[in-house]
Amino acid sequence: MAVSPSRILRTVLREEAFYFFTSIGNYTGQSASSLDEFLQKTKEVNLKSLEFHLYREDFEKWIAQTLGDSKLAEDIKGLRNLKVVGNTLRDRLYFLVSRRLKDLKSALQTTK
Amino acid sequence: MKIKGQGVSLDNLDWRILRLLQENAKLTYTEIGNKLDVAHSTVYDRIQRMEEHGIIKKYRAVVDLEKTGLQHIMALMTIYTEPKESEHIANKLAEFPEVLEVSSSFSEELVINAKVVSQDQPKLHAFIAHSIAPLPGVLRIRTSVITKKYKEETSQPLIF
């Protein structure tokens, strides 16, 4: 069953938020409690953190399992398979998340 | 042992008993008495009083995890916190069975130090990401995995 845009766009509890690390046990102090906030953080966090989480499959797991967005999770999986790193990773991740956010917000408007 | 108000002062015999017990807590009163040339009843009395006053907190086995063959890793965490949340975070950390030691220290800023044990690196990371990072007031965390131990002393030196 498809998850509604409003559910995907919701703000989750502190315990369910995404916490950005740069390596095992090294927390940057940055976290995201919603997809909107996640997009913002993709611009701000250390590149090492983006690489660490992408290749551990953390982004796609959080987006699929916590937010319930299997489509975006698949897109990010595709990005991982391209083995991008550095600023290319940041730019592509930002593009994927912002595009999905736009679609979800637009879908939310039409259902209102 | 003399008791003055809330405080207690130990005499030479008390200190010698403590040193022996720290080396081997399984020593009997008679064995300690023989080593220190005092009656076992005296040893019993001194130990009882030190237990009652919390000077001797408990007796326990010191397990060498390496020799048990149990897969594990140890790590040292430095947790930077908002000052007003520091005490609360330290107390929460102390509740986790994975956390072996918790202390606070101050150099350029107040931090909490914790020693943590886990089965492997993925489990260590999951524990920190899901249980420590979400605690209110945690600003950032630095973690070092212990690769080799050169000394691990569980007893107090009692030489000051």
Cβ-defined contact of A26 to B124 (cutoff 8 Å): no
Cβ proximity of B152 and B80 under 8 Å = no
Contacts of residue B38, Cβ cutoff 8 Å, sequence gap at least 6: B13
Query: Helix, strand, coil: what percent of chain A each, to 5?
Result: 65, 10, 20
Give ranges for CATH 3.30.70.920 in chain B: 71-145
The number of angstroms, rounded, from the C-alpha of B111 to the middle of its chain's C-alpha atoms is: 18
Domain map (residue ranges) of chain A: 5-111
| Closest chain A residue to B141, measured at CA | A27
Q: Which of A:35-94 have CB within 8 Å of B? A: none
Residue by residue, DSSP assigns A15-56 as: GGSEEEEEETTEEEEEEESSHHHHHHHHHHS-HHHHHHHHHH
Task: Give tens-digit pLDDT for A29-65.
Answer: 999 999 999 999 999 999 999 999 999 999 999 999 9
Task: Give tens-digit pLDDT for B83-106.
Answer: 899 999 999 999 999 999 999 988
Give ranges for CATH 1.10.10.10 in chain B: 2-52
Q: Is B25 on the interface with A (CB under 8 A)?
A: no
Other CB atoms within 10 A of residue A69 CB = 24
Contacts of residue A94, Cβ cutoff 8 Å, sequence gap at least 6: A39, A42, A43
Phi-psi region of B133 (alpha: psi -120 to 50; beta: other; left: phi over 0): alpha
| B46-to-A41, B7, B21, B33, B156 alpha-carbon distances in Å | 61, 16, 12, 11, 19
pTM of the model: 0.82
**Cα distance between residue B10 and residue B36, in whole Å:** 16
A86 confidence band (pLDDT: 50, 70, 90): very high
Does B5 have pLDDT greater than 60?
no
Cβ proximity of B139 and B81 under 8 Å = yes
A23 CA to chain B: closest CA distance, Å?
Answer: 9
Give chain B positions within 8 Å (CB) of A65.
Answer: none
Class of domain B71-145: alpha beta
Q: Say what the ipTM of the complex is.
A: 0.87
Give chain A positions within 8 Å (CB) of B130.
Answer: 15
Fold of B2-52: Arc Repressor Mutant, subunit A (1.10.10)
